[in-house]
């Protein structure tokens, strides 16, 4: 949920009619819940009640049909929907590549389509955003020569596709978020979204017309949350529109992984859930006790005699376990709010 410090209106007082007592009791409970969950700018509102997104939820709306080429020593993959209304540049995190955002196809045989990345692209295409992804030169993005190269690539690509008149927006995750925060000082973005990244605002002179900035972060990362709060204040003091989305932990279930990962069936998903439960990796409510990276689930899987996981599904499962723990991972769950943010700044 976007937080701009808005306050709910007060509820009317209870009626005296005895018949209404149960109803007014429920109203009182709702009021108490609203007061409990309402936060001001210093305590942002978490996002609850997220839609039950599935990996194939966009099949009736859009299909992957990307183009790929190399320019200035790096990899470009893109897709333009019919009648696009905006251009979205996506920047991956450390160890990521452009191929992570797209499903494997005849046009992109090396694409891998990681669960969260692919859903972000599908959501964008369904909302008529042309999508451009670029691979970093090294493991993570850098802010010197590479920034100039990517700026040049984006300008060149937008001109070649005759999309100059459309709004340009950007989303970067982790290292990609730092990169987008710097790139926004050079390119004219309508707005940007920084995911699990606070940006590098303490290392640069912020231009006067810096774009509206949305921070999508996971509050378990307390240090990053503190920096985001600090930088939001810096940007607001410069008259820049800012907002944030907090991404909370999610419980695993027997179908959680099969719902989110293409090629992973419900039987394997249920076996993995039961294995995690047996090994104590999740609590009684299904929540991960530790981040997926710190959980020895791969070792437990190797030792298991009942569950086999194909090699190309290991990375997707790892990503979804990280997402469920909600400390530091790419997420598509808040994409509805993210794209509404972009669209609200495209006039």
Residues 304, 279 contacting (CB under 8 angstroms): no
- 211-266 pLDDT, tens digit each: 999 999 999 999 999 999 999 999 999 999 999 999 999 999 999 999 999 999 99
- Residue % of the chain over a pLDDT of 70: 84
178, 336, 341 from 174: Cα distances, Å: 7, 20, 19
Distance of alpha carbon 18 from alpha carbon 26, whole angstroms: 14
Q: Which residues of 140-168 are buried (b: 16+ CB within 10 A; e: fewer)?
A: bbbeeebbebbeebbeebbeebebeebbb
Q: Which of 173, 195, 199 is nearest to 185 (CA)?
A: 199
Q: H/E/C letters for each residue in 230-298?
A: HHHHHHHHCCCCEEEEECCCCCCCCCHHHHHCCCCCHHHHHHHHHHHHHCCCECCCCCECCCHHHCCHH
Distance of alpha carbon 115 from alpha carbon 118, whole angstroms: 6
Q: Which of 242, 225, 247 is nearest to 345 (CA)?
A: 242
Distance of alpha carbon 211 from alpha carbon 165, whole angstroms: 17
Termini Cα distance of the chain: 22
DSSP code of residue 312: G
Residue 155 phi, psi dihedral angles, 5° rounding: -60, -45
199, 294, 306 from 91: Cα distances, Å: 13, 25, 38
Output the average pLDDT for the chain. 87
Give the pLDDT of residue 308: 86
H or E, element range at 237: helix 222-237
Please give the radius of gyration of the chain, using alpha carbons only, rounded to the nearest integer. 22
H or E, element range at 150: helix 145-160
Distance of alpha carbon 138 from alpha carbon 156, whole angstroms: 22
pLDDT at 58 over 90: no
Strands 129-134 and 74-79: antiparallel
H or E, element range at 88: strand 86-91
Confidence label for 59 from pLDDT (cuts 50, 70 and 90): low
pLDDT at 14 over 90: no
Distance of alpha carbon 281 from alpha carbon 295, whole angstroms: 7
Residue with tokens 């191929």: 99
Strands 86-91 and 129-134: parallel
Domains of the chain, earliest start first? 67-248+330-344 (3.40.50.1820), 266-325 (no CATH)
pLDDT at 17 over 80: no
Average pLDDT in the 309-337 region?
97
pTM for this predicted structure:
0.85
How many beta carbons lie within 10 A of that of residue 73, not counting itself? Answer: 9
Average pLDDT in the 35-49 region?
42
**215 strand-pairing partners:** 194, 244
Distance of alpha carbon 133 from alpha carbon 142, whole angstroms: 16
Confidence label for 119 from pLDDT (cuts 50, 70 and 90): very high
Confidence label for 60 from pLDDT (cuts 50, 70 and 90): low
């Amino acid at each position: 949920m976007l937080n701009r410090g808005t306050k709910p209106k007060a509820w009317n007082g209870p009626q005296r009619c005895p018949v209404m007592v149960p109803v007014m009791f429920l109203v009182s409970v709702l009021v108490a819940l609203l007061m409990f969950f309402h936060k001001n700018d210093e305590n942002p509102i978490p996002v609850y009640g997220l839609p039950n997104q599935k990996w194939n939820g966009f099949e009736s709306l859009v299909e992957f049909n990307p183009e790929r080429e190399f320019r200035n020593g790096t990899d470009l993959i893109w897709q333009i929907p019919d009648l696009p209304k905006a251009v979205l540049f996506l920047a991956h995190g450390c160890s990521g590549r452009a191929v992570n955002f797209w499903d494997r196809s005849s046009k992109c045989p090396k694409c891998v389509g990681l669960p969260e990345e692919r859903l972000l692209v599908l959501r964008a295409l369904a909302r008529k955003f042309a999508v451009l992804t670029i691979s970093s030169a090294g493991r993570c993005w850098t802010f010197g020569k590479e920034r100039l190269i990517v700026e040049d690539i984006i300008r060149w690509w937008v001109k070649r596709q005759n999309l100059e008149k459309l709004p340009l927006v950007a989303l970067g995750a982790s290292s990609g978020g730092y990169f987008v925060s710097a790139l926004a000082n050079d390119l004219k973005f309508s707005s940007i979204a920084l995911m699990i990244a606070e940006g590098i605002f303490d290392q640069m002179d912020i231009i006067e017309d810096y774009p509206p900035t949305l921070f999508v972060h996971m509050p378990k990362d307390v240090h990053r949350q503190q920096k985001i709060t600090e930088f939001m204040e810096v940007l607001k003091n410069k008259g820049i529109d800012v907002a944030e989305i907090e991404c909370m932990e999610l419980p695993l279930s027997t179908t959680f992984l099969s719902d989110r990962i293409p090629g992973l069936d419900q039987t394997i998903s249920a076996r993995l859930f039961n294995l995690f439960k047996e090994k104590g990796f999740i609590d009684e409510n299904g929540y991960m006790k530790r981040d997926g990276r710190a959980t020895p689930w791969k070792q437990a899987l190797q030792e298991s005699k009942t569950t086999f996981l194909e090699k190309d599904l290991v990375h997707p499962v790892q990503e979804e376990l990280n997402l469920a723990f909600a400390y530091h991972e790419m997420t598509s769950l808040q994409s509805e709010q993210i794209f509404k943010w972009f669209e609200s700044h495209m006039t």
